[in-house]
């Protein structure tokens, strides 16, 4: 018997699961195919920062997209709790981005100026103010306080959106997609044992998207970037009250009292091995940036593979004008933050609604330079 859907989503990470759930809410028949277990890759591994203002270097559509998704999080969290009973630990306690040289301080002051102009909450604080806020941090030359950024428990978000998808759409785990074939009337998605048909397919398989991009007339330009993280448990009464960031390193306090320390950036690596050099970098960063936590206990370590596109921004939308194929890939360091807005954009496209101007910047065939 022929199995037909309105939409098939390939990949059950935070992006694919959120999209499947949100499209199913529009009464469409949706199938989500995941090659292993839902959330088994980058999404469950993430540190969970909602760093809409954290790593932004310039104003533009991407900054707007990040702010917008952060704003969606309280409602997203409530809806997930109501549907699944899973509390994602949304903690809007701000992020401190440290300056450790006068040059870094000058750069962060410039960042604060443009972010405030474009709707951000960044405020430059002196070293004395920072020392008063966080007793475990090193000497600084001041830093940015990003009051509206925060964090969630990424593993719980991923579990919640996976459960939301399972409650509203057909979800098949352990089902790797091997082939996607387009005909004028439908899309056929093949697994080892089955073939499924739909009006549209949405590619959301993270760092593994290169497998299908050529069949969608797109270059296989996605770069997997391995990241290693570890977790520590502070001793005694020493603690961190908000996320601290310096360079590529960050320290994210979680509700259970532990702190996630991240992360390495290792391009072109699909391996899941924690290495001596990777973990050493992270442990040295703790001693260097948070000397007050040098006696914290090591708890555990893990890895994840970030999906990076050459633009360093995601592709969200159809691969050509009348396409049966849409992509939601390349969320790199911000996929947890961007899941709510990514799904909103995809739902608008499926429903044939007009996109907001800054959303058009992420449609693959429109060069970003044309919409900035
Ligand atoms: C170390 C690290 C720290 C991070 N920290 C943060 C953070 O603090 N904040 C933040 O916002 N983001 C963070 N990120 C980024 C975030 O994790 C990613 O951007 C996000 O998880 C990407 O989600 P995804 O659903 O696209 O990919 P994934 O979670 O990788 O999901 C893709 C899914 O597709 C499946 N799949 C692959 N091929 C197939 C196939 N052929 N058929 C069927 N299924 C397939 C995979 O099994 C996988 O489950 C971090 C990432 C890493 C690695």
pLDDT tens digit sequence for 297-334: 999 999 999 999 999 999 999 998 668 999 999 999 99
Q: How far apart are CA 18 and CA 339, in angstroms?
A: 7
Q: 276 alpha carbon to ligand 1 midpoint, in Å? A: 24
Q: Is residue 83 in a domain?
A: no
Q: 342 alpha carbon to ligand 1 midpoint, in Å? A: 14
Are 255 and 143 within one domain?
yes
Cβ of 314 closer than 6 Å to ligand 1, yes or no, is: no
Q: 313 alpha carbon to ligand 1 midpoint, in Å? A: 14
Cα angle vertex 152, ends 148, 155, to 5°? 160
Cβ of 218 closer than 6 Å to ligand 1, yes or no, is: no
Q: 153 alpha carbon to ligand 1 midpoint, in Å? A: 14
pLDDT score of 58: 92
Q: Is residue 81 in a domain?
A: no
Peptide bond into 132 cis (omega under 30): no
Are 141 and 258 within one domain?
yes
For a mutational test of ligand 1's pocket, the pick from 173, 231, 306, i.e. the residue with the most ligand atoms closer than 8 A to its C-beta, is 306
- For residues 180 and 10, the answer to whether their CB atoms sit within 8 Å is yes
pLDDT score of 85: 98
Q: Is residue 146 in a domain?
A: yes
pLDDT score of 270: 82
Are 146 and 227 within one domain?
yes
Are 256 and 302 within one domain?
yes
User: Which residue, of 277, 292, 308, is where some domain finishes?
Assistant: 308
Q: How far apart are CA 255 and CA 164, in angstroms?
A: 23
Q: 141 alpha carbon to ligand 1 midpoint, in Å? A: 35
Cα angle vertex 159, ends 344, 82, to 5°? 65
Are 239 and 140 within one domain?
yes
For a mutational test of ligand 1's pocket, the pick from 205, 270, 316, i.e. the residue with the most ligand atoms closer than 8 A to its C-beta, is 205
Are 141 and 23 within one domain?
no
User: Which residue, of 273, 292, 308, is where some domain finishes?
Assistant: 308
- Count of the separate structural domains present in the chain: 2
Q: 35 alpha carbon to ligand 1 midpoint, in Å? A: 13
Are 121 and 47 within one domain?
no
Are 183 and 202 within one domain?
yes
Q: Is residue 325 in a domain?
A: yes
- Domain CATH code at residue 205: 3.50.50.60
pLDDT score of 269: 74
Pull the structure tokens for residue 276: 């001596």
Q: What atom of ligand 1 comes closest to residue 191's alpha carbon?
A: 42
CB atoms within 10 A of CB 58: 11
Q: Which residues of the chain have a pLDDT value below 50?
A: 366-372
Cβ of 215 closer than 6 Å to ligand 1, yes or no, is: no
Residue range(s) defining the domain that contains residue 52: 3-76+155-221+310-370
pLDDT score of 57: 85
User: Which residue, of 271, 288, 308, is where some domain finishes?
Assistant: 308
Q: Of 236, 266, 262, which Cα lies nearest the Cα of 251?
A: 262
Are 137 and 20 within one domain?
no
């Amino acid at each position: 018997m022929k199995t037909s859907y309105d939409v098939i989503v390939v990949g059950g990470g935070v992006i694919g699961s959120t999209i499947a759930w949100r499209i199913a809410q529009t009464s469409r028949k949706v199938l989500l195919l995941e090659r292993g277990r839902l959330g088994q890759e980058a999404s469950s591994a993430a540190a969970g920062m909602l760093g809409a203002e954290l790593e932004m270097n310039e104003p533009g559509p991407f900054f707007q997209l990040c702010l917008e998704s952060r704003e969606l999080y309280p409602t997203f969290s409530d809806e997930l709790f109501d549907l699944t009973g899973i509390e994602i630990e949304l903690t809007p306690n701000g992020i401190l981005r440290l300056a450790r040289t006068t040059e870094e301080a000058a750069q962060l002051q410039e960042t604060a100026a443009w972010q405030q102009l474009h709707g951000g909450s960044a405020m430059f604080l002196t070293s004395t103010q920072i020392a008063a806020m966080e007793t475990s941090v090193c000497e600084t030359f001041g830093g940015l306080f990003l009051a509206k950024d925060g964090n969630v428990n990424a593993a719980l978000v991923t579990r919640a959106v996976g459960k939301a998808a399972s409650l509203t759409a057909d979800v098949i785990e352990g089902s790797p997609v091997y082939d996607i074939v387009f005909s004028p009337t439908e899309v056929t998605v093949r697994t080892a044992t089955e073939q499924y048909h739909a009006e549209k397919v949405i590619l959301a398989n993270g760092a593994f998207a290169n497998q299908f991009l050529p069949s969608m007339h797109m270059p296989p330009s996605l770069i997997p970037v391995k990241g290693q993280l570890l977790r520590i448990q502070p001793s005694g009464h020493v603690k961190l009250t908000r996320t601290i960031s310096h360079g590529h390193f960050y320290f994210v306090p979680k509700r259970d009292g532990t702190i996630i320390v991240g992360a390495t950036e290792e391009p072109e690596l699909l391996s899941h091995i924690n290495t001596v050099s990777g973990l050493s970098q992270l442990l040295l960063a703790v001693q260097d940036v948070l000397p007050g936590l040098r006696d914290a206990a090591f708890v555990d370590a893990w890895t994840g593979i970030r999906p990076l596109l050459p633009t360093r921004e995601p592709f969200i939308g159809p691969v050509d004008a009348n396409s049966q194929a849409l992509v939601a890939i390349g969320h790199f360091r911000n996929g947890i933050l961007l899941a709510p807005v990514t799904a909103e954009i995809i739902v608008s496209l499926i429903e044939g609604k007009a996109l907001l101007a800054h959303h058009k910047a992420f449609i693959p065939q429109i060069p970003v330079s044309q919409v900035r």
